[in-house]
A and B are shown apart, each in its own frame.
Chain A
Amino acid sequence: QKEVEQDPGPLSVPEGAIVSLNCTYSNSAFQYFMWYRQYSRKGPELLMYTYSSGNKEDGRFTAQVDKSSKYISLFIRDSQPSDSATYLCAMSAAGANNLFFGTGTRLTVIP
């Protein structure tokens, strides 16, 4: 079983739609949860960083963590064509040296 599971998509939505991206994980020691956006042939760009359970909002982006279900989500409101990219979830345990990544979900927002 992989440490982090993420549906690779692809996911296509019309402009203005609400997008929901999700990851599940198996390691209950994970405490830090991140979402990265990666455009084609570019480096991952940090979007959201959260600690433990709860919600965090930043502009059109909302990150949710449910540690009891080992499930994290990223919501994108009013999606734009510029949001078209691959979205990677990542997580780590406290005191750990590395991040564990999902394989990424490829999102296309159609104008």
Chain B
Amino acid sequence: NAGVMQNPRHLVRRRGQEARLRCSPMKGHSHVYWYRQLPEEGLKFMVYLQKENIIDESGMPKERFSAEFPKEGPSILRIQQVVRGDSAAYFCASSPSRDNEQYFGPGTRLTVT
């Protein structure tokens, strides 16, 4: 049973470009969570999605960030007009239901130059 898959593993973008991060949950998991990890800081919740629905985006910056989890295909975290402060590791986690263990992917390390 494959774990949570994320790609790309490393992404370099220049300021002002768009970044698209993809996450495929574990088989049988329909709940996806995105977290951001800044250097020397803990993981911070960004958004929680189920298929085709955003359930909780209270941790998402109000501008430039969006997320989706379509009926078919992976969940996408999209960052428009990236700035240097967006440089971080972005982790996706999945679970079979709410109040269940969350399993994390390997992360995407975004570097904005």
Contacts and interface: CB of A to CB of B under 8 A. Distances in A.
- Chain B interface size range: 20 to 34
Interface string A68-111: 00000000000000000000101010110111111110000000
A32 B43 contact: no
Nearest to A102: B42
B25 interface: no
Interface in B69-113: 91, 98-99, 101-107, 109
Given A34-B101, A46-B104, 12 more contacts: A8-B40, A36-B104, A46-B101, A92-B99, A95-B99, A97-B33, A97-B56, A98-B48, A98-B59, A99-B35, A101-B42, A104-B42
Interface of B: 4, 6, 33, 35, 40-45, 48, 55-56, 58-59, 91, 98-99, 101-107, 109
Interface of A: 4, 6, 8, 32, 34, 36, 41-46, 49, 88, 90, 92, 94-95, 97-104
